[in-house]
């Protein structure tokens, strides 16, 4: 495999990985844009979504099988179930804290993360679960490069969700309400917008996208475990900051860019896979030094 073939193969890998990061990073950006909360429980919501999808796939395997039809239905049901879990978390843990200091609600988010993490760990006894499917490794070859149908379908599905999310925020009345609340919550209340309902909708959508990423990750890697949300939660937060937290296109760009950096970083001499996280976060530090608001972020002036 020559240098050009390695670039193409790593580009394919980076698109899959970046898609997972981008979907989870959107949830971070949406919640931060609405209520200025760094929802550190979001990575664990991704993990719970993967387990809910696994449960639905197991229940429906006798009817729909474990091929793409069964996976698609399990993914959809997982998005709905995890979306309502996000709404429940927002209602119980975050909504009473909206007027509290930012540090208090951030600590609450860490508490929610620990609850989700330890609950799933207790229910699974800390074991890895096999996300068994019938999709296989079929695909097509371009010289020595192999593109699996799984990679193509997952990337297209993630792209479809990202485009749908962009259209939802920019073209629907609920999306306009979200953008208005992110600018001035009190003025939105005076204009008759049900702020609490829109915030709950934001958590539903963000959690649903995280669940979709969780099911996709389980399908792609073949296993799920209670610790999977911790790493991807940090990476997705990094992607959101890299692109410009609070900006949805920035979250998508940051996810794809971070996935690309990780994939190509493993090919750099003396770096390898064991140093890929150091390489990625090193790039993040450089970006934040020279571009503190992220790649697509803009400097804003806070009015007193």
Write the pLDDT tens digit of every residue in 91-123. 999 999 888 888 888 899 999 999 999 999 999
pTM above 0.85, yes or no: yes
Residue 304 has pLDDT above 50, yes or no: no
Q: How far apart are CA 32 and CA 85, in angstroms?
A: 18
Q: What is the pLDDT of residues 208-238, one digit of tens each?
A: 999 999 999 999 999 999 999 988 988 888 8
Average pLDDT over residues 269-290: 74
| CA-to-CA separations, 164 to 17, 21, 209, 265, in angstroms, rounded | 19, 17, 11, 31
Q: How far apart are CA 90 and CA 63, in angstroms?
A: 34
Could you tell me the sign of the dihedral formed by the alpha carbons of 209, 229, 196, 77, in that order? positive
Please give the distance of CA 183 from its chain centroid, rounded to a whole number: 24
Retrieve residue 29's tokens.
């950006």
Phi and psi of 138, rounded to 5°?
Answer: -65, 155
Helices (H), 90-184: 102-124, 149-171, 173-183
% of the chain with per-residue pLDDT over 90 = 50
Average pLDDT over residues 150-168: 92
Largest CA distance in the chain: 63
Q: Which residue has the tokens 């330890």?
A: 118
Q: How far apart are CA 183 and CA 186, in angstroms?
A: 9
Residue 2 has pLDDT above 50, yes or no: yes
Decide: 268 and 283 in contact? Cβ < 8 Å. no
Residue 242 has pLDDT above 50, yes or no: yes
Domain ranges of the chain: 12-229
Given pLDDT bands bounded at 50, 70 and 90, which one contains residue 300? low
Instruction: Answer with the residue of higher pLDDT: 197 or 271.
Output: 197
* Burial zone of 226 (CB within 10 Å; 0-12 exposed, 13-18 middle, 19+ buried): buried
| CA-to-CA separations, 98 to 73, 95, 106, 108, 278, in angstroms, rounded | 35, 5, 11, 11, 35
Q: How far apart are CA 242 and CA 18, in angstroms?
A: 13
Who contacts 70 (Cβ-Cβ below 8 Å, separation ≥6)? Answer: 57, 60, 61, 64, 133
Given pLDDT bands bounded at 50, 70 and 90, which one contains residue 132? confident
């Amino acid at each position: 495999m020559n240098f050009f073939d390695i670039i193409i193969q790593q580009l394919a890998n980076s698109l899959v990985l970046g898609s997972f990061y981008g979907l989870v990073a959107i949830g971070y950006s949406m919640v931060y844009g609405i209520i200025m909360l760094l929802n550190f429980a979001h990575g664990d919501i991704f993990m719970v979504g993967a387990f809910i999808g696994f449960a639905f796939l197991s229940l429906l395997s006798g009817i729909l099988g474990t091929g793409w039809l069964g996976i698609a239905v399990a993914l959809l049901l997982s998005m709905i179930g995890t979306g309502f879990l996000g709404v429940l978390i927002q209602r119980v843990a975050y909504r009473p804290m909206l007027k509290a200091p930012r540090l208090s609600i951030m600590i609450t988010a860490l508490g929610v993360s620990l609850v989700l993490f330890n609950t799933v760990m207790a229910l699974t006894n800390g074991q890895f679960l096999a996300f068994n499917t019938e999709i296989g490794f079929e695909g097509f070859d371009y010289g020595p490069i192999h593109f699996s149908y799984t990679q193509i379908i997952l990337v297209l599905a993630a792209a479809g969700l990202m485009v749908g999310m962009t259209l939802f925020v920019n073209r629907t009345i609920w999306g306009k309400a979200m953008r208005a609340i992110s600018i001035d919550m009190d003025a939105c209340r005076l204009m008759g917008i049900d702020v609490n309902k829109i915030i709950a909708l934001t958590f539903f959508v963000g959690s649903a996208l995280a669940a979709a990423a969780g099911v996709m990750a389980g399908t792609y890697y073949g296993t799920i475990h209670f610790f999977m949300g911790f790493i991807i939660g940090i990476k997705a937060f990094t992607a959101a900051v890299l692109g410009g937290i609070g900006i949805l296109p920035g979250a998508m760009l940051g996810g794809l860019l971070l996935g690309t950096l990780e994939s190509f970083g493993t090919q750099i001499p003396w770096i390898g896979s064991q140093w890929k996280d150091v390489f990625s976060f090193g790039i993040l530090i450089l970006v934040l030094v020279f571009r503190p608001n992220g790649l697509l972020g803009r400097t804003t002036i806070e009015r007193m």
